[in-house]
A and B are shown apart, each in its own frame.
Chain A
Amino acid sequence: MSWSRDDMAKRAAQELKDGFYVNLGIGIPTLVANHIPDGVDVTLQSENGMLGMGPFPYADEVDADLINAGKQTITELRRSSYFNSADSFAMIRGGHIDISILGAMEISQGGDIANWMIPGKMVKGMGGAMDLVAGVKRCVAVMDHTNRAGASKFLPECTLPLTGRNCIDMVITDLGVFSRGEGETRFRVTELAPGVEMDEVKAKTEADLVWG
């Protein structure tokens, strides 16, 4: 029984600490907002220019001038503030955001991440992803452990164009949690999803990790 997308989001939410300023990426990371632990108060940043992102609006509250970075309509909170894109990325690049939780296509054993481009297919652009991984204090990547063909996405080196080098602190997959502390170069297996054995993780991982 490996983790579902929602389980992975729930596990990622455990990384949020009271008082944190948080940036959540598109996909599974967006679900993290549904699992913020009781007693933990965080402020969500949207890189298009808002701190204190509120929930989706009721139909009669929709405002075309209020969207998140996924271009979805949202609402404001009492604590909210708005700012321009340069200020928004000054927060991100200046190290003021406590944690970024983002999706990944590949992670390398050295903490590189690739999540913006597949050569030969349409290139959509990196948006704010390169700024986030370069500037945010702590970066947590959430992804399936293997691709649809069953090949490992946790690799010795990324094969896809990089989003950032040596910037990921924790990887959460459907099989478990892999983390490295400040100054550590290699990831260790710190948790296994319920019912997942270490042998299965070893068989599905090409990256060189610290096992157990």
Chain B
Amino acid sequence: MSSKVYKTAAEALEGLTFDGMVVMAGGFGLCGIPENLIAALRDSGAQSITAISNNAGVDGFGLGLLLETRQIKKMVSSYVGENKEFERQFLAGELDLEFNPQGTLAERIRAGGAGIPGFYTKTGVGTVIADGKPTMDFDGEEYIMETGLKADVALVKAWRGDTQGNLQFKKTARNFNPMMATAGKVTVVEVDELVEVGSFDPNYIHTPGIYVQRIIEAKCEKRIEQLTVRERVS
């Protein structure tokens, strides 16, 4: 019987990586990033990667790892402000960058996974984002066309998953992960906790296992970018 369960991140990526591949990686900032799979992608040695991810990690962590080793040729993101190595490579012309408004990025990935090749949105009308894109009027208002996005491999982080690939996400670590799971030709997931099939109430599954081809359980560091706390008043 075939199994979706793999032991390590490296094994889970075996046979999937190649030069010039398009990869999606979930996460918002460092929250909900598939950190073990990203490290394994670096170790695979794949070059000239196009990475679709809301952010670019930070120096030395998350996608920052693949920037350090120059394995990324192009980033498709909405905000990349936290990464000095990114800035250096971009200003030196060593890295391509395609900015997408965050909602447009999310919708492009959702559309790609749902078999929708394009859609119209008001976001970006009258800005540089609209340059070169077809427009259409609906009820007297101008909209721009955006296209769906797909990836050769989608790297996803979930909270809990079962052996069939049914997933649950935790709090704001959900972010881009569920859409990316739908948009990968192959979707590889790392979870904090891998459980037997049947452990979840089917009412509370966020991503059904049909979207998941490979799954591993892996410990995450879960680095915090902006630790903010309040004082207890006694």
Measured CB to CB, the residues of A under 8 A from B are: 46-50, 55-59, 62-74, 76, 82-86, 88-89, 92-93, 112, 122-131, 134-135, 161-166
Contact = CB atoms under 8 A, between A and B. Distances in A.
Interface of B: 28-32, 54, 77-82, 87, 90-91, 97, 99, 101-107, 109-110, 121-129, 159, 169-179, 222-232
**Which residue among B129, B175, B230 has the maximum number of chain A CB atoms within 10 Å of its CB?**
B175
A50 B129 CA distance: 26
B101 A65 contact: no
A84 B123 contact: no
Contact of B80 (A64, A124, A131): A124
Contacts, number: 175
Nearest to A128: B102
A112 B126 CA distance: 9
B34 to A, nearest CB: 13
Given A49-B172, A65-B172, A56 B228 contact: yes
A162 B127 contact: yes
B143 to A, nearest CB: 10
Contacts of A65: 31-32, 159, 170-173, 222
Contacts of B99: 123, 125-126
B172 A46 contact: yes
Given A64-B223, A82-B172, A126 B106 contact: no
For chain A, what secondary structure do more than half of its interface residues adopt (helix, strand, loop), or is it mixed? Answer: loop
B231 to A, nearest CB: 8
Nearest to A63: B171
Contacts of B101: 126-131
B18 to A, nearest CB: 28
Contacts of A84: 106, 169, 174-179
B127 A85 contact: no
Contacts of B178: 84, 86
A47 B54 CA distance: 12
Contact of A131 (B54, B90, B104, B227): B104
A86 B109 contact: yes
27 contacts: A57-B228, A58-B232, A65-B31, A68-B172, A71-B29, A73-B229, A82-B172, A83-B174, A84-B174, A84-B176, A84-B177, A85-B28, A88-B106, A89-B102, A122-B87, A123-B99, A126-B79, A126-B99, A126-B101, A126-B129, A127-B78, A129-B101, A130-B103, A130-B104, A130-B124, A161-B127, A164-B125
Contacts of B224: 62, 64, 67, 73
B103 A64 contact: no
Contacts of B28: 48-49, 67, 69, 71, 85
A151 B153 CA distance: 49
B43 to A, nearest CB: 24
A58 B128 contact: no
B176 A165 contact: no
A76 B103 contact: no
B137 to A, nearest CB: 15
Nearest to A130: B101
A67 B227 CA distance: 9
